[in-house]
Structure 1
């Protein structure tokens, strides 16, 4: 048992923090306050968020300072995927039923996302929309929050932590963490094992799936779910980057991303085959 283990729920997922030094109640309350602030800024599932304001009114919204690296990553991945990965995918997800009421009943036809240059201007953490637009930061938002929680732990004097947001995690303890790669079609199996020093994030089509083959990883150009890839895993220095790249690997090949990012990866396809980095710190059983 680690010296400190804290569990809580945030942004729709169970979280766990393991620290080498005890995390006292005051420090834990600071973490929970940070999580609430993040949700109040970026959630499309609550009426009082900044995302909801932009969807309702358009215009200019000043997001927290932590938005700057997140939107910069989105801009880079938007270019690398030719517009397939986009934070403007919120209305596309709601069209397919993934809305605040969780109707999970699609309306057809699918709704492609608007072009970034036509609808959005981002200057640091300030976002201006030419007209109301619904953002969804699910492709990288959980990773961003993992990084922020880890930084908050350091700020309260707690080092050597593992922040685990249901498989998207950042490990800052001295010894690497051995992590199994869960099979997307059978949670009792692993397709491989890796050693993590830093961040690992995963994305899987089965995690949020509904109706007849619908899931949350959409191609923004069509508004339809990706069909060829079943799951991805990315190891990187930050959870923000690992989370965004894990989504991008559904939409483009690793070679399009390796010129701009330093990461290791595993990708499993819907036919059961897999590919992965030559320098992966671990092994893949299924390939």
Structure 2
């Protein structure tokens, strides 16, 4: 495999392909990532979501409908714990555009976000200024977008955006990194024409117990779960479920979407979905049953 590594949207990317990617394919990948960043990054002063946080109004972006439809299901499944207007909550804890990492008082996200935010397939409109953050599923969506623009390229392909990855073609074995020891894995999973996304409290962490996975209802980082992994056909769905698994309702949402998963609690307990194909090196506390049909 030929490996192309680069930095984008604040993380490391790696694209593995059967042959060297043509120059036009690389240019298309770069343009796709830059467009998404200019639309959705709350870390850029010139992005569309930053403008909406100041002026309100509308943004036009091809991913608006797909992402916000998924957010609606995430929010309903987790009783409001996941919310795309959590941007100011993250800023309040110091995870802001300047990376000050100096926390202030926690700030809950607006509970009425579905009344404040209206959207269609390619447009999102805020009735008043608010800071959108699509971190619960945005990177997965971008991995899918990159895979789409590389569809004309033949052969096996792996798109890895900072640990959220999607595989096309030959099977790939991926380790599930232990959240408290990056030199170890709690298991491995073999992917073929599938995506794996993970989230953990040791990533994007700072201060005393502060990290990027917040309960939107309180503005406080989650404490019960340390890491999650989700396996799906597409990366956005896997990314969304990896976020939902930090909250009650996450396993039920995964079951309704047909997504397999593993999660580790902060006390070391491990749960997995009944059909999860991962080979785990650590005993599971219990297998979460699927909800009744």
The 3-state SS of whatever aligns with 2:257 is coil
Residue 87 (structure 1) aligned with residue 92 (structure 2)? no
Q: Distance in 1 between matches of 2:63 and 2:154?
A: 21
Is the Cα contact below 8 Å between 1:22 and 1:158 reproduced in 2? no
Q: Structure 1: state its 5+ residue gaps.
A: none
Q: 2:215 pairs with 199, 216, 219, which one?
A: 219
**Does the 8 A contact of 2:54 with 2:129 survive in 1?**
yes
In structure 1, what is the Cα distance between the partners aligned to 2:271 and 2:255?
Answer: 18
- For 2:227, the equivalent position in structure 1 comes to 231
Q: Secondary structure at the match of 1:88?
A: coil
Residue correspondence of structure 1 range 1-287 to structure 2 within 5 A: 2=1, 4-62=2-60, 64-108=61-105, 110-115=106-111, 116-155=113-152, 157-173=153-169, 175-197=170-192, 198-286=194-282, 287=284
Distance 1:208 1:10 in 2: 16
Matched-pair contact (CA < 8 Å) for 1:195–1:282 = yes
Distance 1:247 1:87 in 2: 12
* Displacement of 1:240: 0.4
The one-character-per-residue Cα deviations of 1:35-73 (angstroms, maximum 9, x if unpaired) are 1111000000111111011101002222x2122211111
Post-superposition offset of 1:165: 1.3
- Mapped to 1, the partners of 2:250 and 2:78 lie a distance apart of 11
Contact 1:23 1:158 in 2 (8 A): no
How many corresponding residue pairs? 281
Distance 1:204 1:35 in 2: 23
Task: Please give the alpha-carbon distance, in whole angstroms, between the structure 2 residues aligned to 1:158 and 1:138.
Answer: 31
Greater alpha carbon shift after TM alignment, 182-191 vs 273-282:
273-282
Q: Which deviations, in whole Å up to 9, do the C-alpha atoms of 1:150-178 show, x marking residues without a partner?
A: 111114x34421001122100011x3211
How has the CA–CA distance of structure 1 residues 159 and 56 changed in structure 2, closer, same or farther, with 3 Å as cutoff? farther
Segment drifting more, 129-138 vs 257-266: 257-266
Give the gaps of 5 or more residues in structure 2.
285-293
